[in-house]
Structure 1
Amino acid sequence: MTESLAELLELSQAGLLAAFLVFLRVGAMMAVVPAFGEKSIPERVRLVLAIAFTAIVFPAVVPEVQHLTASPQSLARAVATEVISGLLLGLILRLFVMVLQIAGTMVAQSTSLSQIFGGGAVEAQPAIGHLFFVAGLALAVMLGLHVRIAEILILSYRYFPAGQFLPPQDVMMWGVDHISKAFALSFSLAAPFVIASLIYNVALGVINRAMPSLMVAFVGAPAITLGGLLLLFATTPILLEIWQAGFAQLLLNPFEAR
């Protein structure tokens, strides 16, 4: 009976170590992932979420991590690789939400509203950027973000094998591809406001040349602000729909790169 208990204890220790390795990847991802990894969420809540996702992911990836507990060397190596893999996955998803913040900043600067900050934001940002950001988080959660995160974590062991460092060249190409797509989408979302601002400034310059004595800045400032708010009211549903489609595509295959 003592021998049986010793074998059971060894098995339980190996299982706990394997679960700990999964927790490292899940916890690193949960630290930066959108919605669940926001700074406004208490750390205890994020810890509980990480444990819950670990309980979901662990049964599906036991064969991929169990062999890493055989020796201290492989276990130490896996600690580093799992944290790096989790951070990379979380940052890719976080980058796509930052698209809305970048677009909001461009919109605010184009419409002379960049000095108005969102009081509900943890980090100071224009109110338009905060509005886009909160709306994007709500849409992400409505897309079933928690289910997609669990799927991504399980599939990640196929693309990011446990205990193996990722080739730097592949990580660079993968990251640059997602960054370029994020900035391209940010400018696309802000394009209507940038074009309207360009037309406004050109017209203001023409009026100023025709009537030098007129203080066009005092006349035009309320116009660009009102026009920007009206354009924001008209285009926000369309812009968020475009972003939602892109984010849904990312969640379906976050490992894709050109």
Structure 2
Amino acid sequence: MSGLADLFPLLNDSLWHGFAVFLRVAAIVSMLPAFGEQTVPARVKLIIALAFTLIVAPAIPAMQMPASFGISTFLILTEVLSGLALGIGIRLFILALQTAGTIAAHATSLSQVLGGAGVDPMPAMGYVLIIGGIALAVMTGLHVKAAELIILSYEFMPMGRFTDASILSDWGVAQVARAFTLAFTLAAPFVILSVLYNVALGAINKAMPQLMVAFVGAPVITAGGLFLLLVASPLMLSVWVQAMDRFLANPFGPIP
């Protein structure tokens, strides 16, 4: 009986430590590509969060149970907010793919084709890029990189401490700027194709005013956009996954 009595405090501390880690892990998993999608059932997300917790908890220094309810509440808030901040930073890469697809679709007159195929309304190009990007990220070990990110996050965001608001806001603005820069970089070939198409169409219309250039040019830009998607999407997705890998390896490092 004495052995069991000595075991109970240790068990309580271990359960509390696991719960504290679970708070941050669950917040990150809810935003994580593939694992945190809206189409994934909540029960599956819970199992994924528990699995990540079992992986991460042994690598984090154990924390004893707080002595008061106020300290416990403060710890819960800090862990949830830290997890959400990191999760949103990762989620912005999905937003970059969605934005790149929208820019490409509008540039090539494909914005209305299968516009409601996804959970969020988006052109078909954006949906194809997101599905391809998620598949590529999972194939290249997203679960391992996410676990490493969570363990690394405790060095920059210690358990039970709020990150300074000015530092967090500057970091968030930088991540949003990087997401939109990445989106335009990925969609640049389609924007260039659109500019060349409109310049050529204007020259043809100037030379032959009686020709209905819109009826001739519409199939050309549509076919050109689809062909460019076929050719450029592997390179686009490789650039995207490399950018996300750099973030997962060092989320608070300098932005290239």
TM-score in terms of structure 1 length: 0.93
Moved more, 224-233 or 119-128: 119-128
The answer to whether residue 201 in structure 2 is matched with residue 204 in structure 1 is yes
The answer to whether residue 236 in structure 2 is matched with residue 239 in structure 1 is yes
Residue of structure 2 equivalent to 1:107? 104
1: CA distance, partners of 2:151 / 2:65: 17
1: CA distance, partners of 2:61 / 2:213: 69
Residue of structure 2 equivalent to 1:17? 16
Residue of structure 2 equivalent to 1:178? 175
Q: In 2, are the aligned partners of 1:29 and 1:89 still within 8 Å (CA)?
A: yes
C-alpha deviation, 1:117, in angstroms: 2.4
2: CA distance, partners of 1:135 / 1:4: 55
Residue of structure 2 equivalent to 1:139? 136
C-alpha deviation, 1:7, in angstroms: 4.0
Q: In 2, are the aligned partners of 1:104 and 1:126 still within 8 Å (CA)?
A: yes
1: CA distance, partners of 2:19 / 2:169: 28
1:243-258 matches, within 5 Å, as 243-257=240-254
Runs of 4+ in 1 over 3 A off after TM superposition: 3-7
Residue of structure 2 equivalent to 1:26? 25
Q: In 1, are the aligned partners of 2:97 and 2:129 still within 8 Å (CA)?
A: yes
Deviations 1:27-75 (A, max 9, x none): 1111111111011111111100001111111111143xx1452332221
Q: In 2, are the aligned partners of 1:112 and 1:225 still within 8 Å (CA)?
A: yes
1:82-231 matches, within 5 Å, as 82-117=79-114, 120-231=117-228
2: CA distance, partners of 1:61 / 1:72: 23
* Structure 1: tracts of 5 or more residues without a match: none
2: CA distance, partners of 1:120 / 1:48: 28
Structure with greater helix percent = 1
Moved more, 184-193 or 204-213: 204-213
* Structure 2: tracts of 5 or more residues without a match: none
Residue of structure 2 equivalent to 1:58? 57
Kindly provide the amino acid, as one letter, of the partner of residue 204 in structure 1.
Answer: L
Q: RMSD in angstroms over aligned alpha carbons?
A: 1.7
1: CA distance, partners of 2:84 / 2:98: 20
Q: In 2, are the aligned partners of 1:118 and 1:127 still within 8 Å (CA)?
A: yes
Residue of structure 1 equivalent to 2:34? 35
Q: In 2, are the aligned partners of 1:207 and 1:216 still within 8 Å (CA)?
A: yes
Q: In 1, are the aligned partners of 2:115 and 2:122 still within 8 Å (CA)?
A: yes
Q: What is the percentage of aligned positions where both structures have the same residue?
A: 50
C-alpha deviation, 1:24, in angstroms: 0.7
1: CA distance, partners of 2:117 / 2:134: 14
